[in-house]
Structure 1
Amino acid sequence: MPNTVHKVLFHGCEIIDAFYTNKELMRVLLLTSDPFISSKRKVSSKKYNKCNEAVQNYLKSKKMMI
């Protein structure tokens, strides 16, 4: 799923609350969907903690059931 589609579908309410005009909302969505501009942005380095082994086993067992 493209990044912009994900943002709109899952975070649409938050995006609309953050930007109070349609012009500002469209500007942000266009900037984030443009491949050239997106390639120039710095990627944030998020540090993810590894899950507990019990949690990993639980998630693996649920994945097998689906």
Structure 2
Amino acid sequence: MCEANAYLITPDGEEKIMDYVIEVKPKGEEEILLTDLFGEEKLIKGTIKEIKLLDNKILINRSEKNE
């Protein structure tokens, strides 16, 4: 099984926003739909900064629209 944890990059560092992410889908220019192992979904306003497969991490830059 290959799942990752998603983190939002904030001025204070990385904030974990979802565990066990199995699917990442872009929705529009600055939105990302994350789905976890249990089928729960979370729509995040931001853009992907980096995906670290060896560390099982998805790093997302916060969109200005979140504020």
Q: Fold conserved (TM > 0.5)? A: no
Q: Relative to total residues, which structure has the larger strand share, 1 or 2?
A: 2
Q: TM-score, normalised by structure 1?
A: 0.22
Which entry has the higher C-alpha Rg, 1 or 2? Answer: 1
